[in-house]
Structure 1
């Protein structure tokens, strides 16, 4: 569709494994889905949960954080990414193997289940 946002990934994070243990990501690309009408984080979380629960997703949330944060796997596209909600926007965090199709599918499902338009921007950090 003309005018649809692009989910081309300009920079991928690199996964490293520090000697001290754990996983660290260097670099970042985050797509921000901003509703045209103001919505609370709780309203956005309800919308996201509706989309996640209706599939084709497997997901888990991170407990005890000051904001909703999910690790999401799209079973159709096989893409994995993080999704967070903060300051009235939904953020899709690219992981090293994330492809555009999974991000686009999430956006399409969110847009289909909500009223109003969405603006999509992205930012990268080294």
Structure 2
């Protein structure tokens, strides 16, 4: 792991807004990009992420009609819910209004423990 122990400090939580016609939108927020230091194809990243999500303590759902893998993930140990997307060789952890760092950190540690290689972690605010 290149970033020995990223804190996953969340500088900005998104604001949830319910639309009149149904659905929900998020304004603002933080996305953490977890990138392997060696290139992996999308299929390998998807397989790695799914192998982690298929084990305890996770419950998750995915969207089949999107052009990229996207999962809504709940960690039963930390109580955190967040989205995981895989795009352009990067695993993205999307913060939701109630997401705390513990759940993101636990997912990252499981990801790193199941891959022989290093990772870098960056974030952006939306």
**Number of residues paired by the alignment?**
124
CA distance, structure 1, for counterparts of residue 19 and residue 9 of structure 2: 29
SS where residue 90 of structure 1 aligns?
Answer: strand
1:5 shift after superposition? 1.3
SS at match of 1:73: strand
Cα displacement string for residues 49-94 of structure 1 (whole angstroms, at most 9, x for unaligned residues): 1101122100011111111000000010010000000000100000
Give the aligned partner of residue 21 of structure 1: 22
How big is each residue's C-alpha offset from its partner over 1:6-27, in whole Å with a ceiling of 9 and x where there is no partner?
A: 2000000000112222111111
Tell me, yes or no, if structure 1 residue 91 matches structure 2 residue 92: yes
TM-score, normalised with respect to structure 1:
0.95
Aligned partner of 2:120 in structure 1 is: 119
State the alpha-carbon separation in 2 of the partners of residues 4 and 102 from structure 1: 14
Structure 2 Cα separation of the partners of residues 70 and 19 of structure 1: 25
2:74 match: 73
Gaps of 5+ in 2: none
Extract structure 1 runs of 4+ deviating beyond 3 A.
Answer: none
TM-score, normalization by structure 2: 0.95
CA–CA distance in 2 between the matches of 1:3 and 1:71?
26
